[in-house]
């Protein structure tokens, strides 16, 4: 699920590591759940992904509004 939402937010693993200081690579590759995602990290990632997804939606709406007005 982490990789899914990260990709919807159009963020690379490197970008997430830079922006949130969380290495999602090892969490995404962990099939045996050796690296659990704590509540604090989950909340940080939720906020980051949500912010980026909202920016994409806002940009799309703005683009559509400009096209409709022209």
Q: Domain ranges in the chain?
A: 2-69
How many helices and strands, by DSSP H and E, does the chain display?
Answer: 4, 0
Dump pLDDT digits (tens) for 9-49. Answer: 999 999 999 999 999 998 999 888 888 889 999 999 999 99
Burial class (CB in 10 A: 0-12, 13-18, 19+), 39: exposed
Q: What is the per-residue pLDDT for 62?
A: 79
């Amino acid at each position: 699920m982490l990789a899914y939402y990260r990709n919807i937010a159009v963020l690379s693993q490197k970008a997430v590591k830079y922006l949130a200081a969380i290495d999602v690579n090892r969490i995404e590759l962990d099939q045996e759940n050796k690296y659990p995602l704590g509540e604090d990290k989950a909340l940080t990632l939720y906020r980051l992904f949500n912010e980026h997804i909202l920016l994409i939606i806002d940009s799309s709406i703005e683009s559509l509004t400009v096209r409709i007005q022209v």
